[in-house]
Amino acid sequence: METSTLTKPAFIGRKIERVRKLRGMTQEEVASSLGISKQAFSKIEQSDTIEEGRLIQISSILGVTLDGLKKFNDENVLNNTNNFYEAVNNSSVNNGFECTTVINNPVEKIIELYESLLKSEREKVEILLSKSKTQ
């Protein structure tokens, strides 16, 4: 039986929720990976203490280190992000290495999705119109 080492670094459940959302994962996905229900995982995200073994599992699923999960805070994420973009924007070359910024634009993905849905709906309309003409 696993020993119950409880971790209580400033509401760990909230940190898990923030990391999960930043990773673009749903409660269902994480719960499924843990072999528990969505409701059980929701309770974990509302907890201020979590067994160390479970915390290790969750950090692995979220793709972060245990230490990174325990020490996570929004302010550090924002500072690190701002520092990264400032470094890239200040110079195209840092320490002899060219910096490349990859922009993953979700708006483009939304437009692609919308266009494919629109195309599908137009095809449905054409099928319905051709059926109504034959009747």
**Is 76 among the domain residues?**
no
The boundaries of the domain holding residue 36 are 6-70
Mean pLDDT of the chain: 76
**Structural domains of the chain, count:** 2
- Of 70, 85, 115, the residue at which a domain comes to its end is 70
In whole angstroms, what is the distance from residue 32 CA to residue 40 CA? 11
Evaluate if residue 100 carries a pLDDT over 90. Answer: no
Q: Identify the residue with better confidence: 6 or 65.
A: 65
CATH of residue 51: 1.10.260.40
Both structure tokens of 115? 């266009």
Percent of the chain with pLDDT over 70: 68
pTM score: 0.52
Q: Alpha carbon of 16 to those of 32, 48, 51, 57, 134: distances in Å?
A: 15, 11, 13, 12, 58
The closest of 27, 22, 16 to 58, measured between CA atoms, is 16
Position 36 scores a pLDDT of 94
**Is 86 among the domain residues?**
no
- Of 17, 43, 70, the residue at which a domain comes to its end is 70
